[in-house]
Amino acid sequence: MIIKINNFEVDLSKPIDISIPLTNTDANPIAWYLSKPEIKPVVFGNWTGSVQSGASTNFNTIVFNPHAHGTHTECLGHITKDFYSINQCLKQFFFLAELISVQPEQQREDLVITLENITTALDVTLESGLVKEALIIRTLPNLEMKKHQNYSNTNPPFLSEEAAIFIRESGIQHLLIDLPSVDKEQDEGNLLAHKAFWNVKNVSNLNTDARRNATITEMIYVPDEVPDGNYLLNLQIVSFENDASPSKPVLYKI
Protein backbone atom coordinates (compact mmCIF):
# COMPACT_ATOMS: atom_id res chain seq x y z
CA MET A 1 0.00 0.00 0.00
CA ILE A 2 1.45 3.35 -1.07
CA ILE A 3 0.37 6.62 0.51
CA LYS A 4 1.32 10.17 -0.34
CA ILE A 5 2.52 12.82 2.10
CA ASN A 6 2.53 16.07 0.16
CA ASN A 7 4.91 15.28 -2.72
CA PHE A 8 6.41 12.17 -1.09
CA GLU A 9 5.40 8.55 -1.50
CA VAL A 10 5.60 6.00 1.32
CA ASP A 11 5.21 2.25 0.77
CA LEU A 12 3.51 0.85 3.90
CA SER A 13 4.18 -2.72 2.71
CA LYS A 14 7.90 -2.28 3.45
CA PRO A 15 8.26 -1.59 7.19
CA ILE A 16 11.68 -1.35 8.85
CA ASP A 17 11.38 -2.43 12.47
CA ILE A 18 14.14 -0.83 14.58
CA SER A 19 13.02 -2.25 17.93
CA ILE A 20 14.79 -5.03 19.84
CA PRO A 21 12.54 -7.97 20.83
CA LEU A 22 12.15 -8.74 24.52
CA THR A 23 13.05 -12.32 25.47
CA ASN A 24 13.76 -14.30 28.61
CA THR A 25 17.13 -15.50 27.31
CA ASP A 26 20.69 -14.30 27.69
CA ALA A 27 20.32 -12.74 24.21
CA ASN A 28 18.14 -9.98 25.70
CA PRO A 29 19.94 -6.63 26.14
CA ILE A 30 20.25 -5.46 29.74
CA ALA A 31 21.07 -2.18 31.46
CA TRP A 32 20.98 -0.66 34.93
CA TYR A 33 22.28 -3.70 36.83
CA LEU A 34 19.19 -5.87 36.49
CA SER A 35 18.99 -9.52 35.44
CA LYS A 36 17.22 -10.72 32.29
CA PRO A 37 13.40 -10.55 31.95
CA GLU A 38 11.18 -13.41 33.09
CA ILE A 39 8.56 -14.99 30.85
CA LYS A 40 7.06 -18.06 32.50
CA PRO A 41 3.74 -19.89 32.84
CA VAL A 42 1.42 -19.15 35.72
CA VAL A 43 1.22 -22.00 38.22
CA PHE A 44 -1.94 -22.69 40.30
CA GLY A 45 -1.41 -25.76 42.46
CA ASN A 46 -0.96 -28.66 40.03
CA TRP A 47 -1.98 -26.57 37.01
CA THR A 48 0.68 -24.92 34.82
CA GLY A 49 -0.32 -22.43 32.13
CA SER A 50 1.47 -24.19 29.29
CA VAL A 51 0.03 -26.28 26.46
CA GLN A 52 3.22 -28.35 26.56
CA SER A 53 2.41 -29.15 30.20
CA GLY A 54 -1.14 -30.20 29.37
CA ALA A 55 -3.07 -26.94 29.72
CA SER A 56 -5.52 -25.78 27.04
CA THR A 57 -3.74 -22.42 26.67
CA ASN A 58 -0.39 -20.78 27.19
CA PHE A 59 -0.78 -18.33 30.09
CA ASN A 60 2.49 -16.55 30.79
CA THR A 61 3.45 -13.83 33.24
CA ILE A 62 6.11 -11.38 32.05
CA VAL A 63 8.35 -9.51 34.48
CA PHE A 64 10.58 -6.81 33.02
CA ASN A 65 11.69 -3.19 33.36
CA PRO A 66 11.07 -0.98 30.32
CA HIS A 67 14.20 1.11 30.92
CA ALA A 68 16.50 -1.87 31.36
CA HIS A 69 15.28 -4.59 29.05
CA GLY A 70 15.04 -3.29 25.50
CA THR A 71 13.53 -0.67 23.23
CA HIS A 72 11.43 1.77 25.21
CA THR A 73 9.93 5.24 24.88
CA GLU A 74 9.84 7.64 27.81
CA CYS A 75 8.34 11.02 28.58
CA LEU A 76 9.49 13.81 30.88
CA GLY A 77 7.81 11.97 33.76
CA HIS A 78 10.99 9.87 33.82
CA ILE A 79 12.78 12.69 35.65
CA THR A 80 10.07 14.78 37.35
CA LYS A 81 8.69 14.70 40.88
CA ASP A 82 5.13 14.94 39.59
CA PHE A 83 3.71 12.00 37.63
CA TYR A 84 3.54 12.20 33.83
CA SER A 85 2.53 9.18 31.77
CA ILE A 86 3.89 8.24 28.36
CA ASN A 87 0.34 7.12 27.53
CA GLN A 88 -0.91 10.68 28.11
CA CYS A 89 2.09 12.52 26.64
CA LEU A 90 2.31 10.64 23.33
CA LYS A 91 -0.94 11.14 21.43
CA GLN A 92 0.29 11.08 17.82
CA PHE A 93 2.20 8.16 16.34
CA PHE A 94 3.39 9.09 12.84
CA PHE A 95 6.24 11.57 12.32
CA LEU A 96 8.62 12.74 9.63
CA ALA A 97 12.05 11.61 10.76
CA GLU A 98 15.71 11.68 9.80
CA LEU A 99 18.16 8.88 10.46
CA ILE A 100 21.79 9.92 10.99
CA SER A 101 24.93 7.96 11.83
CA VAL A 102 27.54 9.46 14.15
CA GLN A 103 30.90 8.41 15.57
CA PRO A 104 31.06 9.47 19.24
CA GLU A 105 34.19 11.38 20.21
CA GLN A 106 36.66 10.20 22.83
CA GLN A 107 36.77 12.63 25.77
CA ARG A 108 38.99 11.22 28.51
CA GLU A 109 37.29 8.01 29.67
CA ASP A 110 34.03 8.80 27.83
CA LEU A 111 32.65 8.48 24.32
CA VAL A 112 30.44 11.50 23.69
CA ILE A 113 27.99 12.39 20.90
CA THR A 114 28.91 16.04 20.51
CA LEU A 115 27.20 19.09 19.10
CA GLU A 116 29.57 18.92 16.12
CA ASN A 117 28.59 15.28 15.49
CA ILE A 118 24.94 16.30 15.25
CA THR A 119 25.32 19.55 13.30
CA THR A 120 27.54 17.83 10.74
CA ALA A 121 25.04 15.03 10.14
CA LEU A 122 21.66 16.67 10.58
CA ASP A 123 19.60 18.28 7.83
CA VAL A 124 16.73 19.95 9.71
CA THR A 125 14.24 20.20 6.82
CA LEU A 126 13.10 18.06 3.92
CA GLU A 127 13.49 19.44 0.41
CA SER A 128 9.81 20.36 0.39
CA GLY A 129 10.29 22.56 3.44
CA LEU A 130 8.49 20.18 5.81
CA VAL A 131 10.17 20.27 9.20
CA LYS A 132 11.15 16.88 10.56
CA GLU A 133 9.71 15.97 13.94
CA ALA A 134 11.92 13.02 14.91
CA LEU A 135 15.63 12.30 14.91
CA ILE A 136 17.08 8.79 14.93
CA ILE A 137 20.73 8.46 15.96
CA ARG A 138 22.74 5.38 14.97
CA THR A 139 26.12 5.28 16.69
CA LEU A 140 29.23 3.90 15.02
CA PRO A 141 30.59 1.31 15.03
CA ASN A 142 27.16 -0.25 14.57
CA LEU A 143 27.92 -3.60 16.16
CA GLU A 144 25.41 -6.46 16.07
CA MET A 145 26.06 -6.99 19.79
CA LYS A 146 23.93 -3.88 20.54
CA LYS A 147 20.96 -6.26 20.35
CA HIS A 148 22.39 -8.47 23.12
CA GLN A 149 24.69 -6.21 25.13
CA ASN A 150 24.78 -6.11 28.92
CA TYR A 151 25.46 -2.40 29.35
CA SER A 152 25.76 -2.40 33.13
CA ASN A 153 29.06 -0.93 34.33
CA THR A 154 30.35 -0.38 30.77
CA ASN A 155 30.07 3.45 30.55
CA PRO A 156 28.36 3.47 27.11
CA PRO A 157 28.50 6.54 24.83
CA PHE A 158 26.06 9.34 25.62
CA LEU A 159 24.72 12.64 24.28
CA SER A 160 26.29 15.93 25.35
CA GLU A 161 24.09 18.59 26.90
CA GLU A 162 24.98 20.99 24.06
CA ALA A 163 23.89 18.46 21.45
CA ALA A 164 20.61 17.87 23.28
CA ILE A 165 19.93 21.62 23.40
CA PHE A 166 20.59 21.91 19.67
CA ILE A 167 18.24 19.01 18.91
CA ARG A 168 15.52 20.63 21.03
CA GLU A 169 16.03 24.04 19.42
CA SER A 170 15.89 22.41 15.96
CA GLY A 171 12.27 21.53 16.68
CA ILE A 172 12.82 17.79 17.09
CA GLN A 173 10.04 16.40 19.29
CA HIS A 174 11.03 12.74 19.31
CA LEU A 175 14.60 11.54 19.80
CA LEU A 176 15.56 7.91 19.18
CA ILE A 177 18.98 6.43 19.97
CA ASP A 178 20.64 3.00 20.00
CA LEU A 179 22.04 3.39 23.53
CA PRO A 180 20.58 2.56 26.97
CA SER A 181 20.44 6.27 27.82
CA VAL A 182 21.07 9.68 26.32
CA ASP A 183 23.00 10.42 29.52
CA LYS A 184 26.16 9.01 31.06
CA GLU A 185 25.69 5.81 33.05
CA GLN A 186 27.17 7.32 36.24
CA ASP A 187 26.53 11.08 36.22
CA GLU A 188 25.59 11.71 39.87
CA GLY A 189 21.96 12.14 38.86
CA ASN A 190 22.56 15.24 36.73
CA LEU A 191 20.73 13.87 33.64
CA LEU A 192 21.86 16.86 31.61
CA ALA A 193 20.79 15.57 28.19
CA HIS A 194 17.36 14.43 29.41
CA LYS A 195 16.73 17.79 31.05
CA ALA A 196 18.01 19.75 28.07
CA PHE A 197 15.90 17.85 25.54
CA TRP A 198 12.70 18.13 27.59
CA ASN A 199 13.59 21.69 28.69
CA VAL A 200 13.08 20.70 32.32
CA LYS A 201 14.76 23.25 34.58
CA ASN A 202 13.35 22.08 37.92
CA VAL A 203 12.23 18.48 38.43
CA SER A 204 10.16 19.45 41.50
CA ASN A 205 8.35 22.44 40.00
CA LEU A 206 7.93 21.99 36.27
CA ASN A 207 8.46 25.12 34.17
CA THR A 208 5.63 26.11 31.82
CA ASP A 209 7.77 25.67 28.69
CA ALA A 210 8.85 22.11 29.53
CA ARG A 211 8.15 19.82 26.57
CA ARG A 212 5.37 17.57 27.83
CA ASN A 213 4.72 15.95 24.44
CA ALA A 214 8.34 15.24 23.55
CA THR A 215 9.71 11.69 23.89
CA ILE A 216 13.02 9.87 24.07
CA THR A 217 13.31 6.32 22.74
CA GLU A 218 16.36 4.32 23.79
CA MET A 219 17.90 0.93 22.95
CA ILE A 220 16.84 0.76 19.31
CA TYR A 221 18.87 -1.03 16.65
CA VAL A 222 19.14 0.20 13.05
CA PRO A 223 20.77 -2.35 10.72
CA ASP A 224 23.65 -1.24 8.50
CA GLU A 225 21.62 -1.84 5.35
CA VAL A 226 19.20 0.94 6.33
CA PRO A 227 20.75 4.12 4.86
CA ASP A 228 20.82 7.52 6.52
CA GLY A 229 18.04 9.75 5.25
CA ASN A 230 14.39 10.67 5.54
CA TYR A 231 11.71 8.30 6.79
CA LEU A 232 8.16 8.17 8.05
CA LEU A 233 8.31 6.98 11.66
CA ASN A 234 5.50 5.03 13.31
CA LEU A 235 6.22 5.13 17.05
CA GLN A 236 4.17 2.40 18.74
CA ILE A 237 3.85 2.04 22.52
CA VAL A 238 1.84 -0.03 25.00
CA SER A 239 -0.88 1.91 26.83
CA PHE A 240 0.98 1.95 30.16
CA GLU A 241 0.21 4.67 32.69
CA ASN A 242 3.91 4.90 33.46
CA ASP A 243 6.79 7.23 32.63
CA ALA A 244 7.95 4.74 29.99
CA SER A 245 6.64 1.92 27.86
CA PRO A 246 8.25 -0.80 25.77
CA SER A 247 7.95 0.41 22.21
CA LYS A 248 8.17 -0.58 18.57
CA PRO A 249 9.44 2.19 16.30
CA VAL A 250 8.93 1.32 12.64
CA LEU A 251 10.40 3.25 9.71
CA TYR A 252 9.08 3.64 6.16
CA LYS A 253 11.39 4.98 3.48
CA ILE A 254 10.30 8.28 1.92
Comparing C-alpha atoms, which of 38, 245, 29 is closest to residue 154? 29
Please provide the distance, in angstroms rounded to a whole number, between the alpha carbons at the two ends of the chain.
Answer: 13
pLDDT at position 161, please? Answer: 98
Contact 135, 172 (CB under 8 A): yes
pLDDT score of 125: 56
Q: What pLDDT does residue 102 have?
A: 97
User: What local confidence, expressed as pLDDT, does residue 7 receive?
Assistant: 80
At residue 8, the pLDDT reads 84
218-253 pLDDT tens trace: 999 999 999 999 999 999 999 999 999 999 999 999
What count of other Cβ atoms lies within 10 Å of the Cβ of residue 70? 26
Q: What rounded mean pLDDT belongs to the chain?
A: 95
* Residue ranges, the chain, pLDDT below 70: 124-130
Q: Phi then psi for 246, rounded to 5 degrees? A: -55, 145
Residues whose CB falls within 8 Å of the CB of residue 242, separated by 6 or more in sequence, listed in order: 66, 85, 86, 87
pLDDT of residue 36: 96
Facing residues of 250 across strands?
Answer: 17, 234
Fold of 2-21+66-253: Glucose Oxidase; domain 1 (3.50.30)
